[in-house]
Structure 1
Amino acid sequence: MNAPVPELEARAARCAARLREADDLLLTSHIDADGLTSAGVATTALERAGIAHDVAFEKQLDRSAIERYAEAGYDTVFFTDYGSGQLDVITEYDAFDPVVADHHQPADAETEYHVNPLLEGLDGGSELSGAGAAYCVARALGAEDERVDNRDLAALAVVGAVGDMQTVEGELVGANAGIVEEGVDAGVLAVGKDLAVFGTQTRALPKLLAYASDVPIPGITGDRNGALRFLDGLDADCREDGEWKTWAELTVEDRRTVVSALVQRAIRTGVDPEEVESLVGTTYTLTEEEPGTELRDASEFSTLLNATARYERADVGLAVCTGDRGEALREAHELLREHRRTLATGVNVVREVGVTRAEHVQWFHVGDRLPETVVGIVAGMAMGEDDVDAGVPVIAFANKEAADAEDVEGEAVKVSMRGTPRLVERGLDLSAVAREASRAVGGDGGGHEVAAGATVPKGREEAFVAAADAAVGDQLET
């Protein structure tokens, strides 16, 4: 077997060996798209290897969760998409052997069974996701059986990377690119250049263009009637039996016609040339999924998964990852509809509570008006609002549920932070900001350069903002 990520081959082999030796194994993972695909990759590989295991999910891996695992009698716990940052706590317990496949910043502690790109000089924010780390272990698990190489799981690993915002200038790079190649070779992925907007498989064309906000085009973006007029003016077959087609249903020639007209409109209306170029990007198609469904496109698949666990149904997301195209997929679609309604509400909530500007950051607090599990997404969406400066990191606060606030004294607040790739290029690292600012107020945090989170005591939000503002200022001024 050729290793998908040669730098991690030895680590993955050690992890696989320990998993094969486990008598009582728990697989535990995060609840976002990367965490769900990590669990999907891991549980499928374990099942193929004949390794019995239980599965658990956590919004946040804290001491109380780790203590539960230690008391449950497992001799091995397999952590995916988290665990590295909590190794200092995990290693306090000798009740189980930890196996970790993660990509977040490791704590100052060690375990023999640890796959993380950062340990080998790879970027955990852009070169390998949690699902990618789990994929490395999955390939190692399949190494002993020539009938099972697990390369088909590359499709899920790519969904995880895309869902974790790991694309660089529109495409996956580094170790992620190596996994893409394996997926293409296995016949489960296709890579191409196409219109780089969300919803190409499922949204009717007017909605697709009106909702495409990454590159705002005057007269089309946010203007359904404008999108209708634009499409009606094209020499392209955009309807069938009176109904608007989706992008996936267009012929190659008609797609070229639409893209060319979009580019011309963008240039004519003064859109920045760099943004115009990003209208076309790399697409990742899951070739074994049905055309015209969310599962066919990596970005739409990841959004569907995000909609399951964020509403306490990680079991549904995992079932979809492992191939359930019946009841689980129907439930996922209903959760996605609910998710979209919540996000639409979220944008209005941000408008109502208002965004406060500090020197180097901006912030808002939604209190109990939105679930803490979606406030990070809403923070990202808010960066497209007129009253929000897209060139400044945004911090969002939401009250945590009492049962989830055990990691700090008293009531707690969830913090979500979002930046942009351009800010990262200037030196922004929100992971470091989250850790520094949260610890300054008695909380805990971490994440990635462009997106991070924390939990802090209620009443310490403004102190957190002050610490984060100073940290961001130091990063961007150096």
Structure 2
Amino acid sequence: MSGPVPELEERAERCADALRDAESVLVASHIDADGLTSAGIAARMLERAEIPFESVFEKQLDDDAIAGIAASAYDTVLFTDFGSGQLEAITEHEERGEFTPIIADHHQPAEAETAYHLNPLLEGVDGGSELSGAGATYVLARAFESEAGANKDLAALAIVGAVGDMQTTDGELTGANVAIAEEGVEAGVLDTTRDLALYGTQTRPLPKLLEYASEVYVPGITNDSSGAMRFLDALDVETRTDGDWRTWADLSHEERQAVLSALIKRAVRNGVASEKLDALVATTYTLAEEEPGTEVRDASEFSTLLNATARYERADVGLAVCLGDREEAYDAAKELLAQHRQNLSSGVRWVEEHGVTAEEHVQWFDSGDEIRETIVGIVAGMALSADGVSREKVILGFANKSAEESKVSARGSHALVRRGLDLSEVMGEASRSVGGDGGGHTVAAGATIPRAEREAFIAAVDRLVGEQLD
């Protein structure tokens, strides 16, 4: 095999050999976009090999979840997008002969060891920015294929997972993700091009695309519905068809250039810094075989659609969409997405109304039962662009998980990561110091802690972040 990530070839081949020997497989995965695309890649890989499988999804791979997996009838369990950080508990069940674990993950590994462990961090590849859980699973699928290049078409899902896992820096994928994207282009399932790097280019009407753009603030357009419409109406571009606003995807190359040029001129005239304007254009990742103007055409919009399924207990819908269902499951996903967007909007509005509490190095809010614990991390990330919230500090979002426990999500910026921030390390150490547990990535991480320990936890996070940034 000549895979997209040479450093992982030996591990991938070992995991693939173990899967080939399995009579059946249980695929266990996380509930976010990266987890769903990981499961989608694994499912397609096993389906093509005619190996029976079943899929289960977990919000968190805790001891109870692992025990439930061990109680299943499966002798082989493929963990995707989690498992590395839970190796101690997993290997305890392995040692008792309850199942053979195979792990394709990118989170920080625990110190325990197992024979079939595919994780970029074990070979010096950054799992926080260069390879997602879906990417690791894709590497496994490429090692597993019976015909050269047969699973390259799964690269599109791997890129959706990477984008959904916030692995773009200044709009660009880096490292091993670039190699996977190149394989997707070779397979004809992915297009990569320089274009407007705003969210919603496939589905949002042009005024909404500009009004809601949080990537670059342009006075008189951003957060200004009538201003965005006046700007578009003044252009020598047909921005409407039969009275309805067109989308960015509807425009020709020449029309896009005209809109972008006018937008940049307006921004410069209003004093927007040139380095911020650079964020307007970046590499975009388009799923070439999907219908233009749909939520599954653009990697970023696809990942948002998936987040709207499993986070609302409908992982079956998200997985079906990953596997190509564009009818019943796709319709259900779009309905869930509409509700998801309302919930996110309400969540950000709640943060704006109630504000954040600022510590020396972090800021935080506790939404209690007002924001679902499955989306509080997304809300926290979006709130970094809200009024009264600093982009120069880490933000912590709390939500009630149970009567005794709080879910807390942390979000930072790539600028802070370049200064030394590692939220995975911070959340893991701080949560364990108060009797909880956590982890994740350098720029985004989460934890579960006792509700009564909130203040002690915040103090620990503030201290640890300060030590890293100093």
- Tell me the TM-score normalised to structure 2 length: 0.98
For 1:209 and 1:260, locate their aligned partners in 2 and report how far apart those are by CA, in whole Å: 14
Aligned to 1:400: 401
Shift in Å, 1:262: 1.0
**Superposition CA RMSD, Å:** 1.0
For 1:390 and 1:69, locate their aligned partners in 2 and report how far apart those are by CA, in whole Å: 40
> Which whole-Å deviations, capped at 9, do the CAs of 1:312-344 have from their partners, x for residues lacking one?
101100000001011000000000000011011
Question: How do 1:119-198 residues align onto structure 2 when only pairs under 5 Å count?
Answer: 119-142=122-145, 144-146=146-148, 149-198=150-199
Q: Tell me, what secondary structure is at the counterpart of 1:459?
A: helix
Residue type of the alignment partner of 1:179 = I
Shift in Å, 1:24: 3.7
> Which whole-Å deviations, capped at 9, do the CAs of 1:60-98 have from their partners, x for residues lacking one?
001111111112232111000000000111101131111
Aligned to 1:253: 254
Residue type of the alignment partner of 1:131 = A
> Which whole-Å deviations, capped at 9, do the CAs of 1:344-369 have from their partners, x for residues lacking one?
11012112332100010000000011
Shift in Å, 1:124: 0.3
For 1:301 and 1:473, locate their aligned partners in 2 and report how far apart those are by CA, in whole Å: 36
CA contact (8 A) 1:46 1:141 kept: no
Shift in Å, 1:252: 0.7
For 1:230 and 1:202, locate their aligned partners in 2 and report how far apart those are by CA, in whole Å: 19
Aligned to 1:214: 215
Aligned to 2:30: 30
Shift in Å, 1:455: 0.2
Query: 1:447 aligned to 428, 440, 450, which one?
Result: 440
Residue type of the alignment partner of 2:392 = G
Q: Tell me, what secondary structure is at the counterpart of 1:225?
A: helix
For 1:176 and 1:30, locate their aligned partners in 2 and report how far apart those are by CA, in whole Å: 20
For 1:273 and 1:465, locate their aligned partners in 2 and report how far apart those are by CA, in whole Å: 36
Residue type of the alignment partner of 2:408 = V
For 2:438 and 2:376, locate their aligned partners in 1 and report how far apart those are by CA, in whole Å: 15
Residue type of the alignment partner of 1:46 = L
> Which whole-Å deviations, capped at 9, do the CAs of 1:232-271 have from their partners, x for residues lacking one?
1111121111211000001111100111111111112122
Aligned to 1:418: 411
Shift in Å, 1:178: 0.5
For 1:385 and 1:292, locate their aligned partners in 2 and report how far apart those are by CA, in whole Å: 28
Aligned to 2:46: 46
For 1:445 and 1:48, locate their aligned partners in 2 and report how far apart those are by CA, in whole Å: 35
> Which whole-Å deviations, capped at 9, do the CAs of 1:101-128 have from their partners, x for residues lacking one?
0000000011111111101100001110
Q: Does 1:339 align with 2:340?
A: yes
Residue type of the alignment partner of 2:257 = R
CA contact (8 A) 2:29 2:56 kept: yes
For 2:174 and 2:214, locate their aligned partners in 1 and report how far apart those are by CA, in whole Å: 24
Q: Does 1:473 align with 2:466?
A: yes
Aligned to 2:224: 223
Q: Which stretch shows the higher mean deviation, 77-86 or 163-172?
A: 163-172
Q: Tell me, what secondary structure is at the counterpart of 1:416?
A: strand
For 1:274 and 1:460, locate their aligned partners in 2 and report how far apart those are by CA, in whole Å: 41
Q: Does 1:97 align with 2:100?
A: yes
Shift in Å, 1:168: 2.0
For 1:102 and 1:391, locate their aligned partners in 2 and report how far apart those are by CA, in whole Å: 30
Residue type of the alignment partner of 2:200 = G
Residue type of the alignment partner of 1:422 = A
Describe the shift of the 1:314–1:401 C-alpha distance in structure 2 as closer, same or farther (beyond 3 A): farther
Aligned to 1:408: none
CA contact (8 A) 1:353 1:365 kept: no
For 2:243 and 2:53, locate their aligned partners in 1 and report how far apart those are by CA, in whole Å: 51
CA contact (8 A) 2:34 2:81 kept: yes
CA contact (8 A) 2:352 2:387 kept: no
Aligned to 2:378: 377
Name structure 2 gaps, 5 residues minimum: none
Aligned to 1:63: 63
For 1:319 and 1:25, locate their aligned partners in 2 and report how far apart those are by CA, in whole Å: 18
Aligned to 1:406: none
Residue type of the alignment partner of 2:438 = G
Name structure 1 gaps, 5 residues minimum: 403-410
Shift in Å, 1:171: 1.1
Shift in Å, 1:219: 0.6
Aligned to 1:86: 86
Residue type of the alignment partner of 1:429 = D
Aligned to 2:453: 460
For 1:37 and 1:256, locate their aligned partners in 2 and report how far apart those are by CA, in whole Å: 33
Query: 1:115 aligned to 100, 112, 118, which one?
Result: 118
Instruction: Count the aligned residue pairs.
Output: 467
Q: Tell me, what secondary structure is at the counterpart of 1:294?
A: coil
Aligned to 2:271: 270
> Which whole-Å deviations, capped at 9, do the CAs of 1:200-256 have from their partners, x for residues lacking one?
000100010000011111110100101011111111121111211000001111100
Residue type of the alignment partner of 1:122 = V
Q: Tell me, what secondary structure is at the counterpart of 1:295?
A: coil
Residue type of the alignment partner of 1:30 = H
CA contact (8 A) 2:24 2:51 kept: no
> Which whole-Å deviations, capped at 9, do the CAs of 1:273-313 have from their partners, x for residues lacking one?
21111101110110000011011100000000001111110
Aligned to 1:405: none
For 1:347 and 1:266, locate their aligned partners in 2 and report how far apart those are by CA, in whole Å: 26
Percent identity reads 65
- Tell me the TM-score normalised to structure 1 length: 0.96
Residue type of the alignment partner of 2:48 = R
CA contact (8 A) 1:132 1:176 kept: yes
Q: Tell me, what secondary structure is at the counterpart of 1:460?
A: helix
Q: Tell me, what secondary structure is at the counterpart of 1:385?
A: coil
For 2:342 and 2:271, locate their aligned partners in 1 and report how far apart those are by CA, in whole Å: 32
For 1:336 and 1:73, locate their aligned partners in 2 and report how far apart those are by CA, in whole Å: 34
Q: Tell me, what secondary structure is at the counterpart of 2:194?
A: strand
For 1:25 and 1:335, locate their aligned partners in 2 and report how far apart those are by CA, in whole Å: 29
For 1:331 and 1:382, locate their aligned partners in 2 and report how far apart those are by CA, in whole Å: 27
Q: Tell me, what secondary structure is at the counterpart of 1:446?
A: strand
